[in-house]
Amino acid sequence: MAENVTVAPRNKFEPFDKMLRRFRNKVERAGIIADVKKNEYFDKPSSKKNRKNQELKRTKLNNKRREAKELHRRKIASNRWGG
């Protein structure tokens, strides 16, 4: 979950813009914006499960492609150097 984010002026003469920018960065790093956007609308459990499965499928496919590409590179390199 999100944590509390507080920002105080660093000194008496710090402009409001800089303080606001520091606040926005802290909020972004804490994940508050992403959390609010994620929970903006109700998401059915089946939709969550479906999205998770699709992401897993995509990740596995990408890993498989990456491994095939690496294997191909190794074959080319070994042929190039007479291995």
Residues 41-51 have a mean pLDDT of 94
Do 30 and 12 lie in a common domain? yes
Instruction: Inform me whether the pLDDT recorded for 35 exceeds 80.
Output: yes
Do 62 and 49 lie in a common domain? yes
Amino acid 82: pLDDT: 65
Q: State the total domains in the chain.
A: 2
Q: 36 or 78, which is more confident?
A: 36
How many angstroms separate the CA atoms of 37 and 74, rounded?
43
Do 7 and 36 lie in a common domain? yes
Do 81 and 49 lie in a common domain? yes
Domain assignment of residue 51, given as a range: 43-83
**Residues present in the chain in total:** 83
- 29-65 exposure pattern, b = at least 16 Cβ within 10 A, e = fewer: eeebeeeeeeeeeeeeeeeeeeeeeeeeeeeeeeeee
Do 36 and 60 lie in a common domain? no
Do 57 and 79 lie in a common domain? yes
Do 37 and 48 lie in a common domain? no
Instruction: Inform me whether the pLDDT recorded for 11 exceeds 90.
Output: no
pTM of the shown model: 0.50
Average pLDDT value for the chain: 89
State both tokens at 31.
Answer: 């994940």
How many angstroms separate the CA atoms of 39 and 6, rounded?
22
